[in-house]
Each structure stands twice: as structure tokens, then as C-alpha cells.
Chains A and B, each alone.
Chain A
Amino acid sequence: MSTTTGQRPEPSTGAASTPPPSLPEKWRALPLPARNLLGAAVALLVVTAFLAVTGDLTALRLATVGYTFLALAGLQLLVGGSGQISLGHGAFMMIGAYTMALLVLHLPMLPLATNLFIVVAVSAVAGIAVGAATARLHGPYLAGATLILAVGLPGIAHRYHDLFGGSNGLNIRTVGVPPFLDGVVTTSEWRALVVWFTVLLVLAALATISGGRLGRRMRAIRDDETAAAMSGIPVGRTKVVAFIIASAAGGLAGGLQAYALGTVTPSSFALVLSLTLIAALVLGGIGSLWGALWAAVAVVYLEVWASDLARAMDLGHNVQHNLPIVLFGVVLILVLRFWPLGLHGGLQALRNRIARR
């Protein structure tokens, strides 16, 4: 997992900020954070190029892929890294999204970056509370406890209607394109870029964490908790830290969602979100950031393709409405049946087979 963003091959993206096409040794000699940051910079260029080609229409979709990717990367650190299975990741996205919306509504003078920092802090605190309460739980017990969190939390938005806007949620208006870029990019393109900039910056940090000592400790705990404890790893503390990092990433993803969509409703953080996230992660492949990326693409685009397909074939209303969820389920079952390591593992196997020929 460590160098997954770093190892991105750098073909002719024509970017000035990339290092000269140097020897692999030279690349490996760079410290890990630098490698990850460079990888993130290249990825941002790729996203910008993609946005320039596809234009305004797909900008929102691209932003959706971005924040979903971040949420999944946090979950990846938790599940793939430390082996804790959380079914309540959507709850942290909800906390982040509502924090963002309330900040924009009640403290409109704060700049976006400050808001995002506050979002991270608030969701990290929530992560501390939940992580400390669930540190002793393992396997299905942790899953059950986090599941009920994901289901219970939207109830608060209904209960405190005045503050959280009930089932209608909150609508916010955030700052659009800065003046000097007016006319160059549209508002939604700008938002997509802001989302991806933040996401890639945080992903570089996550990749550095999981490549370092903390990541190693987390994997040791995942593989054998007792053996890890006997080797002197503080098991409880490491697990809580993993939970906090994952919650902060999930919260930030929620905050970015609120920023990109401009609206926050409790129904978008229903049970199905948390379940989709964990299912998508396994679909993409546990244990690598690439897996999280494929998962994010699958979550967003399977739905798009299913809706397009249903509309093109002029299927009935009931079929059209339910095709995305059925398609996601069928793809999930088939991938797990034939590619047990998920899309990432399956693609790797394909690549190896082609390379051997």
C-alpha cells in the first residue's frame, strides 16, 4: 500500500513539475513523502487534463469520484491496514458534511481551507469518541456497533429540526471561481479541482502514514493481534489511531461533498451509503489505494451507466429506478466469485499474464 500513489508510472503527461524520466533507483532514493507528493501532483495534472477534455458536464461526477475516493481511502486504512471492519463510515461523512454546512451558514466569513481544517478536527474528535468506545471490540461486534451508529445518526438530524433542517437538510452557497480565473473554468469545474486538490494532498499523507511505522504496526495487528502485542506494539492505541485517521478522512470527504453539492440531507447518509462503501472497497480490492480508486469509480460510474442503459432501452419506471443497485450487486458478486482480490488484484493478474506472453 505504501507507494501506491508514488508508483504511478509517469508517461508523457508533458508536465513540467514531474522529475525528469530518471532511473528507478533515483526515484526510490527520494524520501517517501516526496515521492507521494510528486505522485499526487502528477495525479492532479491527470485530473485537470481529464477535466479539460470532458468539460463542465462531468465535473460534478468527477468531484463525486474524488470525495468518494477519499472516504474509501480512509476506510482502506482502517480495514486493509488494521483489519477493523467499520460499517459506520457513512456516519463520519455525515458529521463532516453537516459540520461544513453549519460553518458556511453560521460563520460565512471563514475561508474554505479553515472550514476544511475544522471539519477534519470535528470528525477526528468524533473518531476518538467512537474509536475509544469500540477499541475492545473485534470482527462482527465492531461491525454491529458501527452499523447502528450509521443508522442512528441521521435520526439526530430529524430530531433537532431547527439546527439541522430535518429531512430537507441544509442548503449552502460556497464561494465559486476566484476572480482571476473567471471565464477560464466554470464553477463546477473549479469545485472539482478544489475537491481533487484536497483529496490528493490527503491521500499523499495517508500513503506516507501507511508506508511508515504506524502502517507497519497496523498491518502487524491485522495479521495477528496477539503476536503484535507480544512484539511490543501498543495494540489498543494503534487501533484507536487508525480509527481516528479513518474518521477524519471520512469526515473530510463528507465536508467536500457538502462543498461540491451545496446541499446536505440526512437521506444521503442512510444505511445504504455505509454498506456501499465497505462493499465497494472489497470490490476494488483490499489493501491498496488503487483498490480504493477503482472502488470510487465503480460506485459513481456503475450508477451512471445503469441509469443511461435503463433510459436507452426505455425500460419501465420500476426497472429503471432499481437497475443501478442490482447492477452493483451483480458486479460485486461476480467480481468476488472470479477475482477474490477485487478489481485491483484482478487487473494485476491480467497484467502479469500479458507480461508473461
Chain B
Amino acid sequence: MDHFINLTLNGLALGAAYSALALSLVLIYQATRLVNFAQPAFALLSVYAAFAVTQITGSYWLGFGAALITGMTAGAAAERFVVRPIARVSPLNGVIVTLGMLLVVQGAVGMIWGNEQHAFGYAFSYVGRFSPADIFAVSAVAGVALLLFLLYRFTAIGLRMRAAAHHPEAARLSGVRVGLMLTAGWAIASFIGALAGMLAAPPFLYPNVFDIVFVFGITAAVVGGLDNPFGAILGGMLIGLGGSWVSGYVGPELATLSALVIVVVVLSVRPDGILSRPTARKV
């Protein structure tokens, strides 16, 4: 039983990082209707920026701030200068170009910092059951989700962003600057992606560190429903718990297969994710 509780708490902490990444994917999917494969690239860039800043200044929190700013800037710039001109022509090309950015950033990071592992610390002590680091992870993600909910539901800019995402034409006619709102959506999403990166990277940092985290993130988003931010958080927690239990009881190599099983089971019952609403389609 003790083992089970340990695994569950560990799964929740892991799930927090997956939830954050899934949340960033869902936000971009809602705004631009594409799955952003460059999300781990922005996170990678952010965490390496944090690594560099922490090395120079010696302060973890300055690095943390640098990571969030880097993520936001990278997301906004990528949307404005790379994705928008390409996705306008073909949505599939829009998805593939984010893959291209992922390759470029992973390679560039490897060129600058090398492919070897660097030690990268936690925000707080990670020792013990549900350590301060775990508590920080869960509460940071919960806090961000709450802020996001408030932003989208109760502020004018949130309303504009939702309008731009759902009915761009109508929004434009009402005076919303749709392009700016999309860029803002990417910036917010990549901010959360950078947070996910800071939570998921320790103890080591290397160019492929987020591959598996990203796969779990996209799985979480799909399981929860790509149209629903709460689905992303639920999906992330499910994937985190499933992975933790399977690693603990069966073997860590099969953790990814547990995610596969969750995906297949959930999607065979609800093909659009747990928290999706069925939509009418026009022919």
C-alpha cells in the first residue's frame, strides 16, 4: 500500500509537467488548429536559457524567469514569422513546419551546448515522499491553469482571443486584431510550455530531454480532448499516474506502452477525447 501511495504521488508530480505541456498544445490547437511539434523545442530553448543564466548569475530563479521570457518570445516569433505564412497555404504544411523548427532548435542547441548531459537542478529539494519540488510542480501548474481560466473567462483580451480563435472573420469585423490575438495565444502557450520544461527537465539537460515528455504531453492532450484545456490537465494526470504505476509494478521500459493502452482505450470509447463535446459537421 505504501508503495502504491508513493507511486501515485510520483505520478501526480509527473502528470503536472505533462499537463502543462498538454495545456500549451491545446491552447495552440484552439487558436490555430494545428498540433505544435515545436513546443518541446521552445521548452528546450527556454531551459537552456535558464541553464546559461543560472550558470552566470548563480541564481535559480533568475534562470527561471529567463526561461519563461525566452519561451514566450520564441512562441510569438515562431507564429508570426514562420508558421503563419505557411499554415495559411495548407494546414498540414503548418504542422510539418513546426516539426522542422523542432529539428532546427534541437540541432542548434546541440551545436551550442553539445549533446552531452548537463546537471540541471530542481527548484526545491526533491528528497522524500511528495517532496517540495513535487509540491511546487503541482501547485505551479494548478496556479497557471487557474490564471488561464480567469484570463479567458473574465477579461476583455481573453474574450478577444476566444473570438479570434473561433470566428476569425466575425472577430475581424468587430474590430479584433485577429493576427495579434493568435500571436498572443502562442506566446501564452509557449510560456506554459517553458514552465513544463522547467518542471520536466531535471536532473539532466540534453537536446532530446523532452522527446518523451512531449510524446506524453501530446498523448495527454489527445486523451483529454484537444479542444478543452481542462481535458489537457485531466489527460496529463491520467498519463502520469498510468506511467508511474506501470513503471513501479511492471517495469519502466513499458511506461510508454501504458500511455498507448490509455490512448487506445479512451479513444475507442470517445474518439475526440474525454472532455470533448460532439460537434455537428456540415457537408
Q: B104 touching A148 by the CB < 8 A rule?
A: no
Residues of B within 8 A of A336 (CB): 86, 93, 96-97, 100
Complex Cα–Cα for A319 and B109 (A) = 10
Residues of A within 8 A of B260 (CB): 145, 148-149, 152
Residues of B within 8 A of A133 (CB): 264, 268
Of chain A, the residue at the smallest CB distance from B87 is A336
Residues of B within 8 A of A282 (CB): 92-93, 96
Q: B211 touching A271 by the CB < 8 A rule?
A: yes
User: In this assembly, does B283 line the interface, its C-beta being within 8 Å of a C-beta of chain A?
Assistant: yes
Residues of A within 8 A of B113 (CB): 318
Residues of B within 8 A of A337 (CB): 82, 85-86, 97
User: In this assembly, does A212 line the interface, its C-beta being within 8 Å of a C-beta of chain B?
Assistant: no
User: In this assembly, does B187 line the interface, its C-beta being within 8 Å of a C-beta of chain A?
Assistant: no
Residues of B within 8 A of A85 (CB): 92, 95
User: In this assembly, does A321 line the interface, its C-beta being within 8 Å of a C-beta of chain B?
Assistant: yes
Of chain B, the residue at the smallest CB distance from A133 is B264
Q: B222 touching A326 by the CB < 8 A rule?
A: no
Complex Cα–Cα for A25 and B253 (A) = 59
Which of A141, A152, A286 meets B226, CB within 8 Å?
A141
Residues of A within 8 A of B226 (CB): 140-141
Of chain A, the residue at the smallest CB distance from B255 is A155
Of chain A, the residue at the smallest CB distance from B106 is A325
Q: Mark B243-283, 1 if CB is under 8 A from A, else 0.
A: 00000000101111101100110011001110000000101
User: In this assembly, does A172 line the interface, its C-beta being within 8 Å of a C-beta of chain B?
Assistant: no
Given A136-B268, A318-B115: A333 touches B107 (CB 8 Å cut-off) = no
Q: Mark B17-39, 1 if CB is under 8 A from A, else 0.
A: 00000000000010000010100
Q: A329 touching B101 by the CB < 8 A rule?
A: yes
Which of A136, A152, A278, A325 meets B259, CB within 8 Å?
A152
Binding site for A on B (CB under 8 A): 29, 35, 37, 82, 85-86, 89-90, 92-93, 95-97, 99-104, 106-108, 110-115, 207, 211-212, 215, 218-219, 221-222, 226, 251, 253-257, 259-260, 263-264, 267-268, 271-273, 281, 283
Closest 9 CB pairs of A and B: A329-B103, A326-B107, A144-B222, A329-B104, A332-B100, A152-B256, A322-B110, A325-B107, A322-B107
